[in-house]
Structure 1
Amino acid sequence: MFVRTASERDLVAIRALLVETWHATYDAIHGVERVRAITDDWHSIASLKARLTRPNSEFLVADDGKRLGGMAFAAATTDPKIVLLHQLYVHPACQRQGIGTALLDEIEVSFPEASKLRLEVEEANAAAIAFYRSQGFASAGKTADCGGGSGLPALILEKALG
């Protein structure tokens, strides 16, 4: 898989990847209906399309020419030294193949002025937490509203850049 910038022609495949990955990861935690409601909102074509043109952001996909194996989206905060990793998802069939690391590496170099990369992760998502810790992230607190508007609690992890 190679990492490249996402385009509008990728949006249907990105949505499909996100829906499948979210159900595989979160159905047991939040239930099928809650996951469906979240993916219908957060991962709608309109929501994804808006991210393509968001200033000071990077929207990436991992592509092998036949299908997308992963995606990542990050954006600078009001403080340009802090970048928020909003999404990094790898299709369940493609996990543990280095795709997440490749996407994360590209996100990190996409913001040369940043000194910190921050993310929120579901506390029950042990696999994601282990991945992020293996990539140098450390605990930086908790939030009661993951992603702003979900009402879901999450851990906040950070990694120093540079």
Structure 2
Amino acid sequence: MTVIIRKMNANDISEVQAIARISWHTTYENIIPIAIQNNFLDMAYNDEQMKQRLDHSMIYIAEVAGQVVGFANYSFVREDGNIELAAIYLHPNAQGQGIGTLLLQQAWEEIDGVKAIYINVEKDNAIGMHFYKAKGFEIVSEFDDDFDGHLLKTVRMVLKIKQYVSPRAEP
């Protein structure tokens, strides 16, 4: 299987919206009520918001056989070298194949000045928590998050890039 990681463009918007929707519905099925999921998706992934994301952040796409199977959305690097991983979503059929790892690697290999990647993860998101811990992310805090009237237990995690050696790196 050949995976291509590239920067998102406006032609990818509908595919990214579809990935976000199916990934959210699968991941948060028993965690966040479907009506709240749909409200969030309609607000955060509508066409206008996607255009804003393209203009004000970095989005990488993962393609397999010409089909978008996932994406990762990063903030721009702050002066302290930190970036925020706002979203990393894969189609459920593409999970467990190393594609999420490739989307993470693309950021620390391509984005100049990155020292740490931060992310907020819903504590009951077992797949996400397992993935981030396996990649070396560490928990820095936990907090309650009022998500459209639904209380979530959120975990703040960080991956310090200077301590990470890419599996692609040569010895």
Letter in 1 for 2:21: V
Letter in 1 for 2:29: D
SS in 2 for 1:97: coil
Letter in 2 for 1:127: I
| CA distance, structure 1, for counterparts of residue 151 and residue 13 of structure 2 | 26
* Residue number in structure 2 paired with 1:130: 130
* Residue number in structure 1 paired with 2:71: 71
* Residue number in structure 1 paired with 2:7: 5
Deviation at 1:77, TM superposition (A): 5.7
Return 117-126 or 107-116, whichever deviates more: 107-116
* Residue number in structure 1 paired with 2:168: none
1:47 lines up with 2:49 in the alignment? yes
Tell me if structure 2 keeps the 8 A contact 1:120–1:146. Answer: no
Report 1:81-120 matches (<5 A): 81-120=81-120
* Residue number in structure 1 paired with 2:24: 22
Deviation at 1:143, TM superposition (A): 3.6
- The one-character-per-residue Cα deviations of 1:101-127 (angstroms, maximum 9, x if unpaired) are 000100122333121110000110011
SS in 2 for 1:76: coil
Q: Scaled by the length of structure 2, what TM-score is found?
A: 0.85
Unaligned runs of 5+ in 2: 163-171
Deviation at 1:65, TM superposition (A): 4.2
Higher Cα radius of gyration: 2
| CA distance, structure 2, for counterparts of residue 45 and residue 14 of structure 1 | 10
Q: How many residues align?
A: 159
* Residue number in structure 2 paired with 1:38: 40
SS in 1 for 2:66: coil
How much identity, in percent, do the aligned residues show? Answer: 24
SS in 1 for 2:75: strand
Deviation at 1:66, TM superposition (A): 3.0
SS in 1 for 2:97: coil
Q: CA RMSD in A?
A: 2.1
Tell me if structure 2 keeps the 8 A contact 1:117–1:159. Answer: yes
| CA distance, structure 2, for counterparts of residue 44 and residue 18 of structure 1 | 11
Tell me if structure 2 keeps the 8 A contact 1:5–1:59. Answer: yes
Letter in 2 for 1:41: M
